[in-house]
């Protein structure tokens, strides 16, 4: 990874390396968002506010890179990449609502229901989730991708986001508050809540790029491990991160007595586990040889990031 | 329509005529709902509670009948029919939440957030919406339907449920409370909030049954008109319906100063408009000849129902 000295933060290097991807993703997010309707504009505004208000764009980036790793053209995967960011953003909007995590800030700005209001935030989340599937099935996009592959992409993403993936993870996360949980239960939460959609980002990019079974297996394993590491890093940052850099408060997990790795096993062992997962994840990319370098860079960033 | 005398209510006749369809739909809803996961079961229970707690099943029925009207096998359309009911149920769960319509009862039972709790209801709605697309893209269903048609079905349903359909309709409905609205605005609300998904139910059934362009056009027109009539009838029932039969309170629209047809144009003119829409809708089915009879029966029921 390029680095011009210690005054440059890990995150800056990461964004420099992938700035052309970030530009492509941000342009896609703007382009694909449907125009508003007459009479009612507030939900449409709230979708845009939350979607275009920053964010690391890790999931869409992984989708584009997985497509390239198997020899595909990243532009073909852009609609799927954007749909994944829609789904991620919907999950943040709903998680921030008062009946869930009740967070007033997100990415250094008001969370959606604070900026707008609760009904608008609820509907904006619903709309982003729905638009993900409108986009994935749109006739005018991904024209070169065979229809059965497109259906497989929808299946991969919907399953990961649903009751056996992200949603049951969020449910279990809420249920685990103020409880002593086993490491098996905590792993269950993190793999569903976070790793499922990260894995789906890689698999869907691979599918669009024309991956074979062995390549898909490698992407799946890589995704599971970096996804778990991603959530462990989130937990670690909630303990020792810099609130200014992160754009949100830290220490909130402890306050709510959330089930986290630092609470279960301590801060340093959590970091060790995270690093082990990243290194295990990189091994799963062996089949791609040199082509896996960008994915490995993202893997490294996931556990070294400071926000 | 068969009738054995005035002691039998319109609804009873309707359900007798379509009981085999209702059985098929209810069986499908149970079969396709994904099994639960370890550790967290509450959201899964809430999905089932709301999904299997009665309901007229109008949208799935229209989907199956449209499939048959174009010569298709209704069993091929069953997954799409069930996905439509998932989406309808999600919309009811979210609409009942305190930040939206704040309704404690639904179909004569506690609404989802009263039976469970608000976070569970929020997640159950999210999960039902997501599972609709998991089901529509599942490899093991609709095997005889070509993949491009399946994508078109997903597109039709997602568009109707999204920010240019049901969601903007719900937004506009909330925004119109306590305001004097034009008939154009009210028509905008009702066609988005209710008619969009009803139209998509017919079009998706038609697509799965192998409809041609002219048949799809007929189904689309029929759906738009009966969809609007359906919402007008809901408004009328909210004024003069029997709360015991309906399983929920009446008079709530007036209390909240909702924008409705009875408020805009009076009760009798609203009924007249509804009947005109149904009769116009039936004309759109001319192309189907005798095969359109069951659809016409549903059209009649939509405006004659008492719940």
DSSP H helical ranges for chain B? 10-17, 19-32, 42-51, 58-69, 74-96, 112-115, 118-136, 147-161, 166-175, 183-190, 196-209, 213-240, 243-246, 252-256, 261-265, 267-283, 293-304
- What is the pLDDT, as a whole number, of residue A36? 83
Is the pLDDT assigned to residue A265 strictly greater than 80?
Answer: yes
CATH code of A17-304, in short, is 1.10.600.10
- What is the pLDDT, as a whole number, of residue A6? 42
Closest Cβ opposite residue A126 in set B43, B155, B167? B167
In the three-class reduction of DSSP (H, G, I as helix; E, B as strand; rest coil), residue A110 is classed as strand
- What is the pLDDT, as a whole number, of residue A7? 47
Structure tokens at A204: 């869907």
- What is the pLDDT, as a whole number, of residue B8? 53
Q: What residues in chain B have per-residue pLDDT under 50?
A: 1-7
**B235 close to B264: Cβ distance less than 8 angstroms:** no
Contact yes or no for B127 and A162 at CB 8 A? yes
Contact yes or no for A42 and B151 at CB 8 A? no
In the three-class reduction of DSSP (H, G, I as helix; E, B as strand; rest coil), residue B106 is classed as strand
- Give the total residue count for chain B: 307
Query: Mind listing the pLDDT tens digit for each residue in A167-205?
Result: 999 999 999 999 999 999 999 999 999 999 999 999 999
- What is the pLDDT, as a whole number, of residue A74? 97
CA of A242 to nearest chain B CA: how many angstroms apart? 29
CA of B235 to nearest chain A CA: how many angstroms apart? 21
Place of tokens 């449920």: B161
Instruction: Give the phi and the psi of residue B98 in degrees, each rounded to 5.
Output: -55, -40
CA distances from B18 to A272, A304, B1, B28, B75 (A): 62, 61, 11, 15, 15
DSSP one-letter string for A198-252: HHHHHHHHHHHHT--HHHHHHHHHHHHHHHHHHHHHHHHHHHH--HHHHTS-SSH
Between CA B134 and CA A163 the distance in angstroms is 10
CA distances from A97 to A44, B90, B163 (A): 18, 18, 20
ipTM of the complex: 0.95
Is the pLDDT assigned to residue A4 strictly greater than 60?
Answer: no
pLDDT tier for residue A1 given thresholds of 50, 70 and 90: very low
Contact yes or no for B130 and A172 at CB 8 A? no
Mean per-residue pLDDT, A2-8: 43
CA of B51 to nearest chain A CA: how many angstroms apart? 14
CA distances from B33 to A241, B47, B51, B208, B238 (A): 41, 9, 9, 21, 32
- What is the pLDDT, as a whole number, of residue B10? 58
Spatial CB neighbours of B240, under 8 Å, sequence gap ≥ 6: B250, B267
Between CA B301 and CA B278 the distance in angstroms is 10
Query: Which of B186, B217, B182, B220 has its CA nearest to residue B200?
Result: B220
- What is the pLDDT, as a whole number, of residue B2? 41
Query: Mind listing the pLDDT tens digit for each residue in B39-50?
Result: 899 999 999 999
- What is the pLDDT, as a whole number, of residue B282? 97
The distance in angstroms from the start CA to the end CA of chain B is 19
- What is the pLDDT, as a whole number, of residue B82? 98
The helix-helix angle for B19-32 and B58-69 (nearest 10°) equals: 110
- What is the pLDDT, as a whole number, of residue B6? 42
Domains of chain A, residue spans: 17-304
CA distances from A33 to A27, A36, B11, B165, B167 (A): 10, 9, 42, 14, 15
Between CA A45 and CA A103 the distance in angstroms is 20
- What is the pLDDT, as a whole number, of residue B5? 39
Tell me how far the alpha carbon of residue A211 is from its chain's centroid: 21
pLDDT tier for residue A9 given thresholds of 50, 70 and 90: low
Chain A residues with CB under 8 Å of B117 CB are 99
Query: Mind listing the pLDDT tens digit for each residue in B233-276?
Result: 999 999 999 998 888 889 999 998 999 999 999 999 999 999 99
Instruction: Give the phi and the psi of residue B125 in degrees, each rounded to 5.
Output: -65, -50
Mean per-residue pLDDT, A255-273: 95
Q: Suggest the residue from B32, B126, B148 to mutate for an interface test with chain A (most A CBs closer than 10 A).
A: B126
Query: Mind listing the pLDDT tens digit for each residue in A198-256?
Result: 999 999 999 999 999 999 999 999 999 999 999 999 999 999 999 988 888 899 999 98
Between CA B37 and CA B45 the distance in angstroms is 11
Mean pLDDT, chain A, whole residue set: 93
Mean pLDDT, chain B, whole residue set: 93
Contact yes or no for B43 and A147 at CB 8 A? no
DSSP strand pairing (A105-106 vs A109-110): antiparallel
Closest Cβ opposite residue B134 in set A122, A139, A158? A158
- What is the pLDDT, as a whole number, of residue B36? 83
Q: Suggest the residue from B38, B39, B129 to mutate for an interface test with chain A (most A CBs closer than 10 A).
A: B39
The CATH number of domain B10-33+40-304 is 3.30.565.10: no
Chain A residues with CB under 8 Å of B155 CB are 134, 137-139
Between CA B11 and CA B16 the distance in angstroms is 9
CA of A159 to nearest chain B CA: how many angstroms apart? 6
């Amino acid at each position: 990874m390029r680095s011009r000295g210690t005054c440059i933060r890990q995150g800056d290097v990461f964004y420099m390396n992938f700035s052309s991807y970030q530009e492509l993703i941000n342009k896609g997010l703007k382009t694909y968002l449907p125009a508003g309707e007459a009479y009612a504009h507030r939900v449409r505004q709230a979708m845009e506010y939350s979607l275009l208000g920053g964010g690391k764009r890790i999931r869409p980036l992984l989708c584009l890179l997985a497509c390239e790793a198997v020899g595909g053209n990243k532009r073909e995967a852009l609609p799927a990449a954007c749909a994944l960011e829609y789904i991620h953003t919907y999950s943040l909007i709903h998680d921030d609502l008062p009946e869930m995590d009740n967070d007033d800030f997100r990415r250094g700005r008001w969370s959606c229901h604070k900026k707008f209001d609760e009904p608008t935030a609820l509907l904006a989340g619903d709309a982003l989730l729905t638009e993900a599937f409108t986009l994935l099935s749109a006739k005018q996009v991904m024209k070169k991708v065979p229809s059965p592959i497109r259906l497989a992409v929808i299946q991969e993403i919907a399953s990961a986001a649903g009751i056996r993936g992200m949603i049951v993870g969020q449910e279990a996360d809420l249920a685990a508050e103020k409880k002593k949980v086993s490491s098996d239960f905590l792993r269950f939460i993190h793999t569903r809540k976070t790793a499922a959609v990260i894995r789906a980002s890689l698999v869907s990019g691979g599918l669009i790029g024309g991956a074979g079974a062995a390549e898909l297996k490698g992407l799946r394993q890589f995704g599971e491990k970096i996804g778990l590491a991603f959530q462990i890093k989130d937990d670690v940052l909630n303990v020792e991160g810099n609130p200014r850099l992160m754009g949100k408060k830290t220490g909130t997990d402890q306050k709510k007595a959330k089930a986290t790795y630092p609470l279960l096993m301590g801060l340093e062992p959590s970091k060790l586990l995270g690093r082990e997962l990243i290194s295990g994840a990189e091994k799963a990319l062996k089949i791609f040889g040199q082509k896996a370098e960008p994915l490995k860079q993202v893997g490294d960033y996931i556990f070294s990031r400071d926000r």
